Chains A and B, each alone.
Chain A
Amino acid sequence: MRTGLFYLLLIFSLFISNACLAKVELFEFENDQQQQAYQTLSEQLRCLVCQNQNLADSNAELAQDMRNKTYQMVKQNKSEQDIIDYWVSRYGDFVLYDPPFKQITLILWLGPFVLLILAIYIGLRIVRSNKAQEITVNNKDKREEIQKLLDS
């Protein structure tokens, strides 16, 4: 029982998000709404120096500057969309963790679904052709033999 609980906790520990451990700077906000906006933004925006980290997770100097700028804009009561537009106009779509749905990102968004459908189609075909082979025993003697074996 105890070991079971131990393993359960071990598994749950895998789900602790990195974001919870992110460095917290001493930014003061006027209200919860601003703080919320800042949090979501710093998690959505990519640090361009360490490209697999978001602003909240990164300790790079550029990330600090970007956090600062984001904080200032939040304090000026700019909307989240305005702030995102500010960053995209400077660093391109790459600054967003979630790439926007555009012509150029079509393969990125739809590719996996196309592959999935293709895989299902090929899988079905293989299964069907296997079934077809099973039934086609044309030789009469052989069929009787098989029947005998099955009955015995």
Chain B
Amino acid sequence: MNRYIPIALFVLLVALLAFGLTNDPKEVPSPFINKPAPEFSTSQLYSDEMISVAGMKGKVWVLNVFASWCVSCRAEHVLITELANKLTTPIVGLNYKDETTDAKQWLASFGNPYDMIAVDYKGSIGIDWGVYGVPETFIIDKKGLIRHKQIGPVTAQALNEIFFPLIEKLEKES
């Protein structure tokens, strides 16, 4: 009986390590889930009007942090476009630490899926929202609470399994 103990311990250790491998340490869970979205009021890329979080109250909306220098933003661009095409939910872009001319050029060549684009030249809004890598995407409900945060590029799987069902559900909430 006793000689099985080391084997059992070994199996336990392997199971623990295997579990550790499935976790991505780069994915830091956001403490913002179900908390109010941090306020910002900033200029827009294509409009002279200011855009603020308060102004979005009463609507479900998506905030997608992107930049022209970010390679994986290009990869997820197709999916953000798909999201924008299939839904009437406003998609707000947050142009993070980018030059205005670069951003406009980027959008001109790939297409602009955003309803509005907030400019965060210095990255201070990003820090306020706990952004630590671009792209990141948030879903905000009608009350102004952050309900989901996608770290890294949006995938087709995330779109089908999280984005569409969650947004549909949130649209029904009052």
**Does B127 lie within 8 Å of A94, measured CB to CB?**
no
A49–B122 alpha-carbon span in the complex (Å): 17
Convert B121-158 into 0s and 1s, putting 1 for each residue whose CB lies closer than 8 angstroms to a CB of A: 01110111110110000000000000000000000000
Contact of B30 among A65, A69, A92 (CB under 8 A): A92
User: Which stretch in B21-29, B46-54, B73-81, B166-174 binds the other chain?
Assistant: B21-29
Could you say which residues of chain A place their CB within 8 Å of the CB of B29? 92
Convert A59-95 into 0s and 1s, putting 1 for each residue whose CB lies closer than 8 angstroms to a CB of B: 0011001100100000000000000000011111010
Residue ID in chain B nearest A65 by CB atoms: B123
Query: Does A48 sit within 8 A of B, measured CB to CB?
Result: yes
**Residues in A102-123 with C-beta less than 8 Å from chain B:** none
A4–B26 alpha-carbon span in the complex (Å): 45
**Does A91 lie within 8 Å of B28, measured CB to CB?**
yes
B: contact size bracket: 10 to 19
Query: Does B31 sit within 8 A of A, measured CB to CB?
Result: yes
**Nearest CB of A to B30, in Å:** 7
Number of A-B contacts (CB under 8 A): 37
A14–B130 alpha-carbon span in the complex (Å): 36
A: contact size bracket: 10 to 19
**Does B132 lie within 8 Å of A91, measured CB to CB?**
yes
A89–B25 alpha-carbon span in the complex (Å): 19
**Does B31 lie within 8 Å of A89, measured CB to CB?**
yes
A51–B26 alpha-carbon span in the complex (Å): 8
**Does B26 lie within 8 Å of A65, measured CB to CB?**
no
Q: Which of B32, B127, B130, B132 has most chain A Cβ within 10 Å?
A: B132
**Residues in A46-63 with C-beta less than 8 Å from chain B:** 48-49, 51, 61-62
**Nearest CB of B to A73, in Å:** 11
A90–B129 alpha-carbon span in the complex (Å): 6
A91–B126 alpha-carbon span in the complex (Å): 11
Could you say which residues of chain B place their CB within 8 Å of the CB of A88? 31
**Closest CB pairs A-B (n = 5):** A48-B132, A90-B130, A92-B31, A94-B28, A65-B123
